[in-house]
Amino acid sequence: MRFHAVSGSATRQRTDCAVVGIFESGALATATAQLDAALGGRISRLVKRGDLRGKAGESSLLDVEGGPCRRVLVVGLGRKDGFDRRRYKKVLLAAAAALAKSGARDAISYISQEPVEGTDAYYKGRLAAEAVGHALYRVPVIRSSRKPKEAALRSFGVSVAERDQKKDAERGLAHGHGIAVGAALTRDLANLPANVCTPGYLGKQAREMAREHRSVRAQVLGEPELRRLKMGSFLSVTAGSDEPARMIVLRYQGAAAKQAPVVLVGKGVTFDSGGISLKQPVGMDEMKFDMTGAASVFGAIKAAAEIGLPINIVGIVPACENMPNGRATKPGDIVHSMSGQTIEVINTDAEGRLILCDALTYARRFKPAVVLDIATLTGACVIALGAHLSAVMSNDAELATEIEEAGRRAEDRAWRMPMAEEYHEQLKSNFADFTNSCGREAGAITAACFLAKFTDGLRWAHLDIAGTAYLTGTKKGSTGRPVPLLVDFLINRR
C-alpha cells in the first residue's frame, strides 16, 4: 500500500474513489459540500430523502462516473460534537473496509480535513494508515480451497485542510504504515494454529526478520543453553511438552551502540493447556493466542525497523508450550529461577509468570533504560477491564503514565492498576521463597507482584493484554494490540 498526503479541493483531484463524510444531523463536511456542488447536489438529495443518515461507521458507495472521481464513498461521521480520535479511527476503519470490498485501486479520504478533537495532521495521517492497514489485513486461512480475495486498493491519499500540514501528515502516514506492517506480523503469528506456530517456528521468524532488516539481529537459544543459564523456572513450564523451547533475542539498533536499549519481553506460550492443572475444554483453542505478547514484540520491532526509529530495542521472547505429560511439573513442585529465588508451583496454569521471570532476569545483561513485558497473563485481567483496555502495572509512576499516554494517543488504551504491598502477601509460601499462584482475588495484580520480585532496580512496567490481544466469537482472531501503543511509546522516547 502506498500512502500520500494531499491538500486542496475534492473537485479537482483525480481518484478512483473520493471518501467523504456526513454528520448525523445531515450536515455535509466541508469537502463533501464542495463535491456535492460539483455533482449537482447528488449527495445532499440522498441525505434529504433519508438514504444517507450519517451514523458513525455507516457508508454507501455512489457511482459518479464522469467527474474527477469515479466513485464517492459517503461515510457517516456521527454527531458533529465530540468527533474525537476514537470516532475518527472507527470511521476510517469502516471506510477502509468498504473500500476493500470495492474495485477501487486508489482512493483519497477527505475526512481528515475535518477537525478531530485533540489531534493534529500527524496523528490524522498515522491513524488513517493504521486503520487502512488493519482493515485490509487478511488472516492466514489454511483451507484446501477458496483463498480469501485480496483488496484491489493499492494507494490511499489523505487530504488535509491546509497545505502546510502535508509534511506532518506524510510523517504520520509513514509511521502509521510501519505500525500497520508490524501489527499485521503480530496478527499473522498470533492467528496461526499452535501446530504451525511452535517455539521453533517463532525462532525461524526471528531469523527471517533479521534477514529482511539490516538493523535487526536475531539470536535463538535452545534448551541446553537455557539449562546452562539456570532458567529453572522457564524450563519447568516446557517440561511436559515434546516441542523444544526457545529463547529468542531480537536486537534492533537504530542509535549508537552505547545508548541504553528499551527491552521488550513477550510471553510466548504457543499453546497453554494449563499443564497438569489442565484447563477446561470450552475455549481452550483460544490458548493458541497465548503467545500474543511475543508476537507484539516481533511486531513492534518490525515497525521500528520499517520506520527507522532512532533508538535501540532488545526483544526477549521465552517461547514454549504448557502441556501435561509424565515429565510435566506437578502442583507443589519447587523450582529454582535464574535469579536464585525459589518458587512453589501451586498451579501449573500460572505458567506465564514462570517463563517471564527468567526472561526478566536475563534482560538485566542489556543494561536497559526501561523494561516492558507484554503478556496474555491472567483471566482476571479480562474480568477487570474486558476487551477494551489493557492493564498496566509498574514500579515507576512516571513510566506508567508514559504508557497510558501512549495508549491514548495511539487509540490503543491501557489503564494502570495498583501493586500495593498488601497484594504481595498473597504469594507467601510455607516451602519456598514464594508461590506462583494464590486465590482468585486481584489475580491480575498478584501476577504483576510476582513479576515485580524479579525487577528490583529496573525501570519496569508490565502490560496484561489477556482481554485486548484477540477477539472471540464470530470475529475470533488477533487484534494486533498492543503494537500501536508500544510503537507510540517508542516513537515518543526522549
**Catalytic (active-site) positions:** 279, 353
Residue whose CB is nearest to ligand BES in the complex, by number: 379
Residues 200 to 259 in contact with ligand BES, rule: CB under 6 A: none
Is the torsion defined by CA of 12, 17, 20, 26 positive or negative?
Answer: positive
Residue 238 φ/ψ, nearest 5 degrees: -85, -5
Where does residue 494 rank: exposed (0-12), middle (13-18), buried (19+ CB within 10 A)?
Answer: exposed
CB nearer to ligand BES: pick between 54 and 352: 352
Rounded CA separation 256/155 (Å)? 35
For 375, residues 6+ apart whose C-beta sits below 8 A from its C-beta are 266, 267, 293, 352, 356, 462, 463, 464, 465, 466
113, 165, 296, 378: which one binds ligand BES (CB under 6 A): 378
What is the grid cell recorded at 294?
511475543
The alpha carbon of 48 is separated from its chain's Cα centroid by a whole number of angstroms, namely: 41
The residue from 466, 485, 486, 490 that contacts ligand BES (CB under 6 A) is: 466
- To Mn ion, the closest distance from the beta carbon of 382 in angstroms equals 13
The reply on whether position 382 binds ligand BES by CB under 6 A is: yes
CB 233 to Mn ion: min, Å: 14
Nearer to Zn ion, 119 or 277 (CB): 277
- How is residue 275 written as a grid cell? 499443564
Q: Scanning residues 388 to 407, which ones bind ligand BES (CB under 6 A)? A: none
- Within residues 266-285, the interface with Mn ion by CB under 5 A covers 272
Q: Does 58 bind Mn ion (CB under 5 A)?
A: no
Binding segment toward Zn ion, per CB under 5 A, in 79-87, 268-276, 357-365, 430-438: 268-276
Choosing among Mn ion, Zn ion, ligand BES, none, which partner's interface includes residue 59 (Cβ < 5 to 8 Å by kind)? Answer: none
Q: Which is nearer to ligand BES, 174 or 284 (CB)?
A: 284
Burial (CB count <10 Å: 0-12, 13-18, 19+), residue 375:
buried
With respect to Zn ion, which residue has the nearer C-beta, 152 or 284? Answer: 284
272 binding Zn ion? (CB under 5 A): yes
Q: Between 350 and 363, whose beta carbon lies closer to ligand BES?
A: 350
Distance CA 206, CA 218 (A): 6
Query: How many positions of this chain bind Zn ion (CB under 5 A)?
Result: 4
CB 275 within 8 A of CB 245: no
What does 95 bind: ligand BES, Mn ion, Zn ion, none (CB cut-off 5 to 8 Å by kind)?
A: none
Query: Cell triple for residue 176?
Result: 502509521
Question: Among residues 199, 275, 352, 368, which is the contact residue for Zn ion, using CB under 5 A?
Answer: 352
Subset of residues 316 to 355 that bind ligand BES, contact rule: CB under 6 A: 347, 349-352
Q: Is 464 in the site for Mn ion (CB under 5 A)?
A: no
Task: Mark 344-373 with x for binding to Mn ion (rule: CB under 5 A) and - for no binding.
Answer: -----x-x----------------------
* Residues forming a β-bridge with 370: 262
Q: Give whichever of 216 and 287 is closer to Zn ion, judged by the CB atom.
A: 287
* Shortest distance in whole angstroms from residue 272 CB to Zn ion: 4
Asked if 443 interacts with ligand BES (CB under 6 A), we say yes
Q: How far apart are CA 359 and CA 357, in angstroms?
A: 5
Binding partner of residue 191 among Zn ion, ligand BES, Mn ion, none, CB under 5 to 8 Å per kind? none
User: What is the smallest separation between the CB atom of 431 and ligand BES, expressed in angstroms?
Assistant: 18
Closest-by-Cβ residue to Zn ion is 272
Among 354, 380, 417, 458, binds ligand BES (CB under 6 A): 380
- Min CB(180)–ligand BES separation in Å: 24
For ligand BES, what does the binding mask look like between residues 251 and 290, x meaning CB under 6 A?
---------------------x-----------------x
- Which of 129, 237 has the CB closer to ligand BES? 237
Q: Is 123 exposed, middle or buried (0-12, 13-18, 19+ CB in 10 A)?
A: buried
Residues that bind Mn ion (CB under 5 A): 272, 349, 351
| List of residues contacting ligand BES (CB under 6 A) | 272, 290, 347, 349-352, 376-380, 382, 437, 443, 466
Binding site for Zn ion (CB under 5 A): 269, 272, 290, 352
